[in-house]
């Protein structure tokens, strides 16, 4: 039963017919994993904690930077340099000490997702890269778990719910990640700080609707927001019968053309790269940053191809060597590595990019 303190804390939502005592107890018994403690993960985590979710998991491998603070409201100026999971946990416990916060200071990978997702009822994706998003989708499809999707750029964003029973998965709408250079990251094109707040809040609403079995979650519907013009629209879509990821006949064998070498981990840790950096016969470094970034700092003796140049210059890569792709923080390079794997290369992404390399391996590499 709810305690008197909980009855008082959640009183404004307890009076909703869709919640009530039974619904609030359902929320207290629920467990939700939030992927990413950044711009989207911040409002999601805060509102789910405030709503009384019993267990919140936060997975992120990054540290708080000053450039995060205009949109990542879980963190404050004093948190710069701390692990995001640690900062997030402190903020959430301060907001609602009744919530059990579990932290996973690591990057979500395809190999890790399945085991981790089994521990939670629902997944909310607040990541900012395609590699993680497809890993979330494929693991949820394999396990039959629902997940809430959100993405933002500049003044716009979108939200949907994937993996619901009988509903479509992310690959039903976006079968493959875009080719390198065809989309830009938040780091490159920017985002108004309040936009992730709006989209993340909508993700929290969708998560609560799914857990409460209330209303109509955005299953088979993509909500698109243009906050600069104050417009929104709904795009309807259906589950594709030929989708290799969510088709029932292949539920236990989630593979696709974009997964080239399943035995090869998609990320390489900086420490692992440091141990084999001198072996030029087996490893080829690929730097896909902009020319000005290249002039500031680099790792070893890499091949330099900007994202937009990769497709027409892919022949300059040696298919006989492992390709380690890096950028500033790992977002752009994860897309490039994904694209290369789809074309038969043994490509891996440097987790955390050159920034993490500088912090953990070689401080002589300038940070910018």
Active site residue ranges: 186, 327
φ/ψ (deg, to 5) at 140: -65, -40
Burial class (CB within 10 angstroms; exposed 0-12, middle 13-18, buried 19+) of 81: exposed
Signed CA dihedral, 184, 304, 276, 338: sign only: positive
Report the alpha-carbon distance of residue 117 to residue 138 in Å, rounded: 11
* Tokens, residue 365: 């590499």
Report the alpha-carbon distance of residue 132 to residue 329 in Å, rounded: 14
The 8 Å CB, 24+ separation contacts for 76-84 are 84/37, 84/38, 84/58, 84/60
* 18 CB neighbour count, 10 Å cutoff: 12
Q: Are 170 and 145 in contact (CB under 8 A)?
A: no
Going by C-alpha positions, the residue among 163, 290, 155 that lies closest to residue 224 is 155
Report the alpha-carbon distance of residue 131 to residue 151 in Å, rounded: 14
* Tokens, residue 57: 């998991």
Signed CA dihedral, 118, 134, 266, 365: sign only: negative
């Amino acid at each position: 039963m709810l305690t008197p303190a909980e009855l008082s804390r959640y009183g404004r939502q307890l009076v909703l017919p869709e919640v009530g005592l039974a619904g609030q107890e359902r929320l207290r018994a629920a467990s939700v994993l939030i992927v990413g403690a950044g711009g989207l993960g911040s409002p999601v985590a805060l509102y789910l904690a405030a709503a009384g979710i019993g267990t919140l998991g936060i997975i992120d491998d990054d540290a708080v930077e000053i450039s995060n603070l205009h949109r990542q409201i879980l963190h404050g100026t004093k948190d710069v340099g701390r692990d995001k999971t640690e900062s997030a946990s402190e903020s959430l416990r301060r907001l609602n000490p009744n919530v059990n916060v579990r932290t996973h200071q690591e990057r979500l990978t395809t190999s890790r997702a399945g085991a981790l997702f089994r521990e939670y009822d629902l997944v909310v994706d607040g990541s900012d890269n395609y590699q993680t998003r497809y890993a979330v989708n494929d693991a949820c499809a394999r396990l039959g778990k629902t997940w809430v999707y959100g993405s933002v750029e500049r003044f716009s964003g979108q939200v949907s719910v994937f993996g619901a029973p009988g509903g479509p998965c992310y690959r039903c709408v976006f079968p493959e990640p875009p080719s390198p250079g065809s989309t830009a990251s938040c780091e490159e094109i920017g985002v108004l700080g309040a936009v992730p707040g709006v989209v993340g809040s909508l993700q929290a609403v969708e998560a609560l609707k799914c857990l409460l079995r209330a209303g109509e979650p955005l299953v088979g519907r993509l909500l698109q927001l243009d906050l600069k013009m104050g417009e929104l629209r709904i795009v309807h879509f259906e589950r594709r019968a030929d989708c290799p990821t969510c088709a029932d006949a292949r539920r236990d064998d989630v593979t696709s053309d974009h997964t080239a070498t399943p035995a090869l981990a998609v990320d390489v840790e900086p420490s692992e790269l440091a141990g084999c950096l001198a072996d030029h016969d087996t490893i080829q470094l690929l730097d896909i940053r902009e020319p000005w970034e290249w002039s500031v700092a680099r790792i070893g003796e890499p091949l330099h191809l900007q994202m937009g140049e990769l497709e027409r210059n892919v022949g300059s890569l040696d298919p006989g060597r492992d390709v380690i792709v890096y950028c500033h923080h790992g977002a752009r390079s994860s897309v490039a590595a994904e694209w290369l794997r789809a074309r038969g290369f043994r490509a891996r992404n440097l987790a955390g990019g050159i920034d993490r390399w500088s912090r953990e391996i070689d401080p002589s590499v300038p940070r910018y």
